[in-house]
């Protein structure tokens, strides 16, 4: 991971969802709830309360290989009658799943669905607030965002 790589923190509500990430190498986002910035080089996963001792922390991340639009029914064929089966989802294709040596924890409960940060902040963070830190030692975030639109400063 490079310091100016874009990292998208993405919420994983339940272990069953993380099992899909680990076993099948993809993450799903409903189109109607998708954040701007799906072009982040990396996705990191923030675990919800169903993860027990691992809740409210980021312990895994993966490289973003790209995405495609599919229905929920296509992603989860075992649930053809789900109320959202016909809705469109981004299927984010992921590279190898990496585990952090030390999870990035939340010292207090936070409702995070998606959050953007940079590679340097992600690699140096020990607490969720560190992902949003300012300082001369970090990559300039505005420049990193403009990189997505191929705008050079």
pLDDT of residue 74: 94
Domains of the chain, first to last: 6-148 (2.30.130.30)
Q: How far apart are CA 111 and CA 120, in angstroms?
A: 23
Q: How far apart are CA 38 and CA 64, in angstroms?
A: 9
pLDDT of residue 145: 53
Q: Put residue 72 in one of left, alpha, beta given phi > 0 → left and psi -120 to 50 → alpha.
A: alpha
pLDDT of residue 107: 80
pLDDT of residue 125: 93
Residues of the chain with pLDDT under 70: 135-153
% residues pLDDT > 90 (the chain)? 65
Burial zone of 29 (CB within 10 Å; 0-12 exposed, 13-18 middle, 19+ buried)? buried
pLDDT of residue 102: 95
Q: What is the DSSP letter of 34?
A: P
């Amino acid at each position: 991971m490079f310091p100016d790589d874009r990292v998208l923190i993405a919420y994983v509500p339940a272990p069953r969802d993380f099992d899909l990430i680990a076993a099948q190498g993809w993450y799903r986002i409903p189109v109607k709830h998708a954040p701007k910035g799906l072009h982040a080089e990396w996705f990191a996963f923030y675990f919800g309360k169903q993860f027990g001792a691992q809740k409210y922390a980021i312990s895994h991340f993966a490289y973003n290989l790209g995405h495609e639009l599919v229905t929920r029914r296509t992603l989860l064929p075992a649930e053809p009658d789900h109320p959202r089966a016909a809705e469109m989802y981004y299927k984010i294709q992921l590279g190898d799943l990496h585990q952090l040596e030390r999870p990035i924890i939340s010292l207090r409960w936070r409702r995070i669905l998606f959050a953007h940060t940079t590679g340097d902040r992600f690699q140096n963070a020990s607490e969720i607030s560190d992902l949003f830190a300012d300082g001369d030692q970090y990559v300039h975030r505005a420049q990193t965002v403009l990189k997505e639109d191929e705008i050079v400063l």
